């Protein structure tokens, strides 16, 4: 058998990256940690073992060793997006780190939880500061909500919502 | 042309060939893997019981569940919250054979949509370095999406052609190569319309180069698992036979999952006797799709 015959169809979609690309820079730990502790009361220990990286307008939490010298598309979990000077926690991060939140937490009943996961805006009165909140229901951490004057707007990304089935992708 | 005709050339290698052909037209039920990064098995099973979901745990992997015929797991809250991942039963085999440990450095060379990546991450308990590589830009999105939904924090995604993946030394590498996918026929019979010896030979050179590169990236004694979801020996034994100067094959099995030995000859070619140590999984043996798995130890 000769492995030198070429012409694979997969090859066309598999160009190697050429040229430099936006880099993941190490982000100051204390700043990131204090954002989460000030807003949600999440203790610093929740982030022990994690390092933080920044690329463009996003901050990532990575629980691994120092990165090899390669070019990366993502590093760990995207936990914060920065818009103007505002920081927004991602639903993925809330689901992972929100368990230990002690403030700005909204608790929903079972039916409301499904509505929230489906992306709906709910009327709820909660004892929280306006802004981003951790939304939970029983043991489930549902994700990030935006609370303002009795309205809770679901921040669950569209493709993550309840009932949205990801398209079938072959070869899994 | 009848799509099943493509399977005729396997008449002499597949046991109970008639049953094998017949089962292709019976659709598979859904199956899921419990994501222990987000929920414990007992709590998840309790939820399914409460919701009246019908399931049966796999004998050889308690985190894998076969669901009843009418279940649509992709539409449940458990899916949205990342407690489960929809994954074909046999797709759970290669990560089990790879057997990654927390703290190791692992490469998943052909990773999208990340079913095996996320299974590896959960075996690593989210600790250590997991590089998920995927060169196809459109396939990056589902990979990222799954990693985020499942709460994986130790994965770094790269976009290299696996054949020229940059130098690094990994403890283990999974090479789940692009293939002719004959083993997915129970999901969609149409895959068989394109398959055949010619197509398989076309894929072979890329597969050999990916596997070689994977071995070069693994330290001596490290493990490389090569897998496909096809029956074609051109993409399976013939590929592994090309790298036996870099690695030796190791025997493996999963208690309760039936498999057939790898082939040592095909179409007039003979391969090393060691190729018997590979596993072929046929759909009629375990009521699954089809898969090929080889476990290699770097010399
Ligand atoms: C069988 S699928 C992988 C399925 C995945 N391991 C899972 O379990 O979800 C093969 C993947 O290899 C990718 N691929 C194609 N050419 C490649 C190359 N040259 N190097 C690395 N990956 C490649 C394809 O885009 C495809 O996503």
Chain A contact for B267 (CB, 8 A cutoff): no
A32/A82 Cα distance (integer angstroms): 12
pLDDT tens digits, one per residue of A100-138: 999 999 999 999 999 999 999 999 999 999 999 999 999
Measure B15 CA to nearest chain A CA, in Å.
24
Q: For residue B169, what pLDDT is reported?
A: 98
Stretch (H or E) spanning A77: strand A77-83
Q: For residue B1, what pLDDT is reported?
A: 54
Domains and CATH numbers, chain B: 3-28+89-298 (3.40.50.150), 29-87 (3.30.70.1170)
pLDDT tens digits, one per residue of A70-86: 999 999 999 999 987 78
Chain B contact for A35 (CB, 8 A cutoff): no
Q: pLDDT category, A165, cuts 50, 70, 90? A: confident
* The token pair that represents B7 in the structure block: 């399977």
Judged on CB neighbours under 10 Å (0-12, 13-18, 19+), B291 is buried
Bridge partners of residue B155, in order along the sequence: B130
The SS3 call for residue A133 is strand
Q: What is the DSSP string of B231-286?
A: --GGGTHHHHHTTTTTEEE-----TT---EEPPSEETTEE--GGGGGSEEE-HHHH
CB contact under 8 A, B127 and A49: yes
Q: For residue A170, what pLDDT is reported?
A: 53
Stretch (H or E) spanning B293: strand B291-298
Residues 85-114 of A with CB under 8 A from B: 90, 92, 95-96, 113-114
Taking 90 as the threshold, does the pLDDT of residue A20 lie above it?
no
Chain B contact for A152 (CB, 8 A cutoff): no
Ligand 1 probe mutation, B87, B100, B109, B112, most atoms within 8 A of CB:
B112
Q: For residue A66, what pLDDT is reported?
A: 93
Alpha-helical (H) ranges within chain B are 17-23, 41-51, 77-80, 93-98, 115-123, 137-149, 191-194, 197-216, 237-241, 283-286
Taking 60 as the threshold, does the pLDDT of residue A145 lie above it?
yes
Q: Is B278 designated active site?
A: no
Q: pLDDT category, A53, cuts 50, 70, 90? A: very high
B263/B273 Cα distance (integer angstroms): 8
Q: What is the chain A residue with the closest CA to B238?
A: A1
* The token pair that represents B45 in the structure block: 């099973």
Longest dimension (CA), chain A: 71
* Active-site residue identified among B110, B179, B229, B278: B229
pLDDT tens digits, one per residue of B194-215: 999 999 999 999 999 999 999 9
The SS3 call for residue A132 is strand
CB contact under 8 A, B74 and A166: yes
Q: For residue A168, what pLDDT is reported?
A: 54
pLDDT tens digits, one per residue of B272-299: 999 999 999 999 999 999 999 999 999 9
* The token pair that represents B18 in the structure block: 């008639």
* pLDDT tens, per residue, chain B with 299 residues: 588 999 999 999 999 999 999 999 999 999 999 999 999 999 999 999 999 999 999 999 999 999 999 999 999 999 999 999 999 999 999 999 999 999 999 999 999 999 999 999 999 999 999 999 999 999 999 999 999 999 999 999 999 999 999 999 999 999 999 999 999 999 999 999 999 999 999 999 999 999 999 999 999 999 999 999 999 999 999 999 999 999 999 999 999 999 999 999 999 999 999 999 999 999 999 999 999 999 999 99
Q: For residue A9, what pLDDT is reported?
A: 32
**Which residue from B130, B152, B242 is facing A77, i.e. has the nearest CB?**
B152
Q: What is the chain A residue with the closest CA to B228?
A: A171
Cis (ω within 30 of 0) for the bond into B113?
A: yes
What ipTM score was computed for the predicted complex, to two decimals? 0.94
Taking 90 as the threshold, does the pLDDT of residue A167 lie above it?
no
Taking 90 as the threshold, does the pLDDT of residue A58 lie above it?
yes
Atom number, ligand 1, closest to the C-alpha of residue B112: 27
Which letter does DSSP use for residue A45 in this model? G
């Amino acid at each position: 058998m000769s492995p030198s015959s070429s012409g694979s169809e997969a090859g066309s979609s598999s160009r190697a990256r050429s040229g430099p690309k936006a880099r993941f820079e190490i982000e100051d730990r204390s700043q990131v940690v204090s954002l989460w502790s000030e807003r949600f009361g999440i203790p610093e220990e929740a982030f022990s073992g994690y390092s933080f990286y920044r690329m463009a307008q996003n901050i990532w939490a990575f629980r691994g060793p120092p990165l090899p010298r390669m070019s990366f598309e993502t590093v760990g979990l995207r936990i914060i997006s920065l818009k103007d000077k505002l920081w927004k926690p991602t639903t993925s991060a809330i689901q992972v780190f929100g368990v230990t939140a002690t403030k700005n937490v909204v608790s929903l009943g079972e039916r409301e939880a499904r509505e929230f996961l489906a992306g709906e805006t709910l009327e709820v009165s909660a004892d929280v500061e306006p802004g981003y909140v951790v939304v939970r229901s029983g043991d489930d951490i549902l994700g990030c909500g935006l609370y303002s004057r009795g309205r809770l707007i679901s921040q669950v990304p569209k493709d993550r919502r309840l009932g949205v089935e990801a398209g079938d992708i072959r070869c899994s | 042309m009848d799509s099943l005709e493509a399977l005729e050339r396997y008449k002499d290698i597949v046991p109970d060939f008639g049953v094998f052909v017949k089962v292709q037209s019976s659709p598979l039920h859904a199956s899921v893997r419990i994501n222990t990064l987000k929920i414990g098995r007992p709590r998840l099973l309790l939820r399914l019981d409460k919701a009246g979901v019908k399931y049966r745990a796999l004998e050889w992997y308690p985190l894998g569940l076969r669901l009843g015929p009418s279940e649509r797991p992709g539409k449940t809250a458990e899916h949205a919250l990342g407690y489960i991942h929809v994954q074909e039963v046999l797709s759970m085999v290669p990560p089990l054979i790879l057997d990654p440990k927390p703290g190791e450095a692992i490469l998943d060379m052909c990773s999208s949509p990340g079913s095996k990546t996320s299974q590896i991450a959960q075996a690593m308990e989210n600790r250590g370095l997991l590089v998920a590589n995927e060169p196809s830009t459109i396939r990056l999105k589902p990979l990222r999406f799954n990693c985020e939904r499942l709460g994986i924090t130790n994965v770094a995604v790269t976009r290299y052609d696996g054949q020229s993946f940059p130098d690094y030394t990994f403890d283990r590498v999974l090479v789940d190569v692009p293939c002719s996918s004959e083993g997915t026929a129970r999901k969609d019979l149409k895959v068989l319309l394109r398959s055949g010896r010619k197509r398989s030979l076309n894929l072979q050179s890329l597969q050999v180069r990916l596997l070689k590169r994977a071995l070069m990236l693994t330290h001596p004694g490290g493990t490389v698992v090569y897998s496909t979801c096809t029956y074609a020996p051109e993409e399976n034994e013939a590929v592994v036979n090309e790298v036996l100067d870099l690695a030796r094959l190791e025997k493996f099995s999963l208690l309760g999952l039936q498999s057939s030995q790898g082939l040592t000859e095909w179409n007039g070619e003979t391969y090393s006797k060691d190729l018997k140590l590979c596993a072929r999984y046929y759909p009629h043996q375990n009521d699954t799709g089809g898969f090929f798995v080889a476990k290699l130890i770097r010399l």
